[in-house]
Structure 1
Amino acid sequence: MPESEPEAGASTLAAKLDRLFDVVRRPDREQYSHEEVARACREATGESFSATYVWQLRTGRRDNPTKRHLEALAQFFQVPPVYFFDDRQSARITEELALLGALRNAGVREVALRAVTLSPEGLGTISDMIEAIARREAGSR
């Protein structure tokens, strides 16, 4: 039976879970290990939940977890369970998580807090400067 193409913008469970690992970090900014996630999910559900299983879900080798497993993953990563089912909600939640992750960086937080008092024109100037610097740094890599 041929697999159907996902609709444009659709994201697999593996891709969504991988994004959570990329964006939601430990306090030391390191990624959570599969074992840390599995342990927390075991404790939350009381069911079998191994590091290998988390890895299989993350890499797409398994793609049909139980509702309780998805709820435990959502709880661990502090996202609503709808994150795994609705691509639009998933994209919105991912953007919010990325912003929160960026604000953990003291330098980013300081710039953001100082920018709050700027006029719209001042914000536009800062945005243009950041874009120019980002282009320059991307070109020097």
Structure 2
Amino acid sequence: MSTTPTTFAEKLAFLIETMHPASRGPYDDEELAQAWGVSRQYVWQLRTGRRAEPRHSVAMKIVRFFGVPEDYFVDDDVTVAVMRQIQDLIDRRDGTPDADDPGENVELRRLALRILGLSTDERELVSNMVDKLRAYESTPRHRRSRRKPSPVDQG
């Protein structure tokens, strides 16, 4: 990540190269076309820069597929933040000798990227909920409450 991508094609290329399960290589044009509901040629045009940008509806399918904020393709600051976060997650994953299921790593990256798009208050709410779930799971089963805490519980 030595230079910040500036075109849609460069930003898309980064996602294609990095956002895939560790057990396999990047998605090919056919897989992306099926996932996004477009032709393989349309994907190729976006990936190579022959088409500068997709239709809005396709752009929304792309951001949902990769789990990035909607502003990833239009705001360079968001692009850089997302790229750093993805790279950090990949480095962490690759640095773990006995990594978990590769599919979970992709879901973890997607979850982390979705959290980026939340407001500060919303991120704090997610963080508090994670803390409550961890505390619940670490409590011996016979001492747990009968139901898991809900997001509205003020624990």
Shared fold (TM-score, shorter chain, > 0.5) = yes
Distance 2:81 2:35 in 1: 25
- 1:97 matched residue in structure 2: 86
CA RMSD of the aligned region, Å? Answer: 2.1
Give 3-state SS (helix, strand or coil) of 1:73's partner. Answer: helix
Task: Show structure 1 runs of 4+ deviating over 3 A.
Answer: none
User: Of residues 67, 70, 74 in structure 2, which corresponds to 1:85?
Assistant: 74
Distance 1:103 1:51 in 2: 33
Distance 2:5 2:46 in 1: 17
- 1:5 matched residue in structure 2: none
Residue identity (%): 35
Note if contact 2:9-2:48 (Cα within 8 Å) is conserved in structure 1.
yes
- 1:63 matched residue in structure 2: 52
Corresponding letter in the other structure for 1:39: Q
Note if contact 2:8-2:52 (Cα within 8 Å) is conserved in structure 1.
yes
Deviations 1:111-136 (A, max 9, x none): xxxxxxxxxxxxxxxxxxxxxxxxxx
Note if contact 2:5-2:11 (Cα within 8 Å) is conserved in structure 1.
no
1:65 Cα offset (Å): 1.3
User: Of residues 109, 118, 126 in structure 1, which corresponds to 2:96?
Assistant: 109
- 1:137 matched residue in structure 2: none
Distance 1:97 1:64 in 2: 22
Count of residue correspondences: 96
1:10 Cα offset (Å): 6.3
The verdict on how the C-alpha distance between 1:10 and 1:17 changes in structure 2, with shifts beyond 3 A counting, is closer
Corresponding letter in the other structure for 1:71: M
Note if contact 2:20-2:26 (Cα within 8 Å) is conserved in structure 1.
yes
Distance 1:88 1:101 in 2: 20
**Uncovered stretches (5+) of structure 1, i.e. residues with no partner:** 1-8, 43-48, 111-141
TM-score, normalised via structure 2 length:
0.56
TM-score, normalised via structure 1 length:
0.61
**Uncovered stretches (5+) of structure 2, i.e. residues with no partner:** 98-155
